[in-house]
Amino acid sequence: MLNLNNVGKTYTDQNQGRFEVFSGIDLTIEENQFVSILGPSGCGKSTLLSMVAGLESVSEGAISLEGNDINQPGPDRGMVFQEPSLFPWLNVQENVLYPIKKRLPKKEAEERVNHFLKMVHLSKFKNHYTYELSGGMQQRVAIARALAMDPKVLLMDEPFGALDEQTRHIMHDELTKIWHETKKTILFVTHSIQEAIKLSDRVVVMGTRPGRIIADFDINVSRPRRRDDAKVIELENQVMDLLKDEINKVLKEELDHEASH
Which residues form the interface with ligand ADP (CB under 6 A)?
A: 11, 13, 19, 21, 39, 41-47
Residue (28 or 41) nearer to Mg ion, CB: 41
Residues that bind Mg ion (CB under 5 A): 46
3-state SS assignment for residue 209: coil
Please, what is the minimum distance in Å from the beta carbon of residue 81 to ligand ADP? 11
Nearest approach, Cβ of residue 41 and ligand ADP (Å): 4
Please identify, using beta-carbon distances, which residue of 7 and 149 lies nearer to ligand ADP. 7
Strands 60-65 and 68-69: antiparallel
Cβ atoms of 219 and 235 closer than 8 Å: yes
Rounded CA-CA distance 70/56 in Å is: 10
Dihedral pair phi/psi, residue 69, rounded to 5°? -65, 140
Q: Which does 43 bind (CB under 5 to 8 A by kind): ligand ADP, Mg ion, none?
A: ligand ADP
In the complex, least distance from residue 20 CB atom to ligand ADP, rounded to whole angstroms? 9
151 or 211, CB closer to Mg ion? 211
Residue 189's beta-bridge partner residues? 37, 157
Write the CA distances from 123 to 91, 137, 190, integer angstroms: 12, 11, 29
Q: Are 193 and 39 in contact (CB under 8 A)?
A: no
Residue 47 contact among Mg ion, ligand ADP, none, beta carbon within 5 to 8 Å by kind: ligand ADP
* Closer residue to Mg ion, CB minimum distance, 46 or 139: 46
Q: Which is nearer to Mg ion, 46 or 93 (CB)?
A: 46
- 174-187 as b/e: b if 16+ CB within 10 A: bbbebbeebebbbb
Partner whose footprint covers residue 87, from ligand ADP, Mg ion, none (CB < 5 to 8 Å by kind): none
Least distance between Mg ion and beta carbon 237 (Å): 24
